[in-house]
Structure formats: structure tokens, C-alpha cells
Structure 1
Amino acid sequence: MSQDPNLFWFGCILWLVSVLVIFNLVYSHPPAKAKVTQKRVDPIKYAYVVNTDEEKEIAQLRRECTRLRQKLQQQSQKIREDFQHNTFYQLESLLTNYPTVCKVVQEHPDLPAKNILPLFKPLDKVLAHWGYEAIGSPLAQVPYNPQLHQPDDRDITVGEMVYIWFVGYQDRKLEYIISPAVVSRNLPQIPKSTKSYAVNFS
């Protein structure tokens, strides 16, 4: 069956027009997309919010720092008070008798020192409680040790025999020298008069 050429071209034109119409409908009215809304950030307002948060954090840190400082001060005060009370109780007999002893010595300057020495026994208890140990004994002759002794003359050499004038103290637990013993090549001059204060190193 022969086809009419005019009819053939008419069909082609009709098909092309249909394609153009469909293409125009599709691309001239695209499907609705999800509307994406992006909130505009005001830089001034954002900076204000950030600064406000930082200020709140700084203020909180300052309050915490103040609280810790006050707590530390309270603890330091409590430790100091406990130390003072404990020391006073150990020295109570010496402290309560000391004013009377001073008055008696003023009234009786010839009073032998040996009658007063027992009042200083509480000091030995305090040193023992603290763990402090005497370095040497008074008037003892010992080899000079620069780690333990403080010489009265710079030219004293290590190992040289010296006399202890004043004892030192060291912490037995920490093995720490608190105060070195004062030493000299010569013995101290001690008055021998019975009317003067006798020096008792025992």
C-alpha cells in the first residue's frame, strides 16, 4: 500500500510540534523543589551572643577561683591555729612559769641557773615531737664537717678538730639540716664565778 508523501510529512511535522510542546511545558514549569531557607545571621547580634557566653564563662571561672581561694585561706588559718595550739600545749608549763622565773631572777640575781633548767624540759618534748635531732653536744670536740657545722673562721678545713659552741638541728625524717652547729677551734670562755649565772650544758 503506497503512502501519501504529504501525509508522511504532515505526521513528521505533527510529531515535531508535539515534542516541542512537551519540551516547553517541562522546562518552562520545572517541578517544585524543596524550599531551602537559610536564616540570615546578623553579625552584630551573633557577636553579642558569643561575647555574652564568654562573659558568663569567665564570670563562672572567677567565682570558682574566689571560692577556692577562700577555702585555701580557711584551711591555712585552721592549720596555723592547730599548730599554735599544739605547740602551746606542749610548752604550757614553760610559758606559764616563764614570767614568774623572770621576776624571781630580777629579785634574786644570784639564783643558780641549775634551778631554772628543769623549766626548759618541755622544749625537748617539742623537738622530739617534731622529729628534730640535735647536731652534736655543747663543748664536744668533733671533726669539722661543712655539711653539719658553721665555723667561726673561714680557714677551718674539713676534718680539723673543732669545738661545738652551739648545737644545730636536723630533721630525722627528711634528713634535712635545719640549723648547722656553730663550731670553733677554741672553747668558749665561761665565767667561773658562783655569783654569776652558771652555764650548764648537760
Structure 2
Amino acid sequence: MLEQINQVAFAVILVIIVYIILRILFPENNQDTSNNNESVTSPDTEQKIKDLEIQCQRLREELKQQSQQLQSDFQNETFTQLQTLLSNYPTVKKMALAKPDLPAKNLISLFTSLDNLITSWGYTAIGETWEQVNYNPQLHQADSDDIQEGELVYIRFIGYQNSDKILYAAKVSRTLPPGFDNN
């Protein structure tokens, strides 16, 4: 789909360039100063210009429609991949409020669709929850301004990256949450 958009964009740019070239090669000129300075352009040139303008408008509309279709396809694909999670979330929320002692491990399988989506997009996690790592300000967001690069910290919340681009830095701290230890 992206290739089609690039092709349409290229075609639009090409039409605009041709239009500009035609305007330069066939400017409106004065036929005779005695004719009250009326501009004269050949009918053939005028028709070519009108045809190019129509084609340019058609290509703009195609590009707009393709953009809307891509957005719709993206939303539908994402919804399909998250459908299980989205369908079960309201029930799980009600259950958690009604039964606060419900074991969280019973809910973990609901997040499989979210894991699959992240994997299909090619995103990778930055660290693992509660993993001890050396602080790297490029990958981590510290909970304290005095944490120094290379200092040992714990990942409180993982981050995500796509290749070398950091989408969301992992949140780190010097300590684990109260009640949790490294064992």
C-alpha cells in the first residue's frame, strides 16, 4: 500500500512539474500591441493545460482516498489483533472490582494478543520488569535526577524500541517496589 501511495505522490509531482514547464514554454504573450494587449494562447496548449489540471486533481483525490483506506485498514487490522483483549477487558475489570482477591495469573493469558501485536509491528522491549541493568540515559528514564550513567538500577516499567528508534524509554529506579526483592 505504501508503494502505491509513493507512486501516486510521484505522479502528482510529475504532473505539477509538467504543468510548470508548459507554463514556461508557452507563456501567455502579446500578439500585437495594437490589440489592447490581449493575451493569446494556442487552443492546443490551453487544452493540454486543462487536461493536466484535471489529471492533477484526479491524482490528488486518489491519494486522499488511498490515505483514508490505509488508515481504515490499519485500524481494522489492529482491532482484529486486539479483539480478544478488548472483548474481555470490561468483564475482567468488573471481576477484579467484585473479587479483589482474584489471582492475577488468571488474567495474563488475555494479554497474548497485545504481545502478538507488538511482535508483528517489529517492536522490541527495552529490558524486563525488575531486571537489574546499568543505567543508560538513551534507553532509560530515571525516577531520580541524581542517577548516573552506568549505575545499577532496576527496570520498573519496560520501554519499547523499533530497530534503533526509542519509542518509549524504560522507567528505572535504584530500588524495587516495596515488598519485592530480587529473588
TM-score normalized by the length of structure 1: 0.64
Q: Could you say what secondary structure the match of 2:128 adopts?
A: coil
> How do 1:10-29 and structure 2 match up within 5 A?
none
Unaligned runs of 5+ in 2: 1-30
Query: Aligned pair 1:149/2:152, yes or no?
Result: no
* CA shift digits 1:54-77 (9 cap, x unpaired): 987776555444323221111111
Q: Taking structure 1 as reference, are residues 54 and 114 closer, same or farther at Cα in structure 2, changes over 3 Å only?
A: same
The Cα of 1:104 is off from its aligned counterpart by: 2.1
Q: 1:170 aligns with which of 150, 161, 165?
A: 161
The Cα of 1:162 is off from its aligned counterpart by: 0.6
- Kindly name which structure, 1 or 2, has the bigger radius of gyration based on alpha carbons: 1
Over 6 Å off, 4+ runs: 51-58
Q: 1:85 aligns with which of 36, 57, 76?
A: 76
* CA shift digits 1:98-118 (9 cap, x unpaired): 122122223323222111121
Unaligned runs of 5+ in 1: 1-39, 192-202
Tell me the distance in 2 between the aligned counterparts of 1:153 and 1:187: 14
Aligned residues: 150
The Cα of 1:170 is off from its aligned counterpart by: 1.0
Tell me the distance in 2 between the aligned counterparts of 1:63 and 1:93: 47
Q: 1:107 aligns with which of 98, 101, 115?
A: 98
Q: Could you say what secondary structure the match of 2:73 adopts?
A: helix
The Cα of 1:189 is off from its aligned counterpart by: 2.8
Identity of matched residues, %: 49
Tell me the distance in 1 between the aligned counterparts of 2:72 and 2:165: 25
Tell me the distance in 2 between the aligned counterparts of 1:85 and 1:140: 35
Over the aligned positions, Cα root-mean-square deviation in angstroms equals 2.8
Tell me the distance in 2 between the aligned counterparts of 1:177 and 1:66: 39
TM-score normalized by the length of structure 2: 0.70
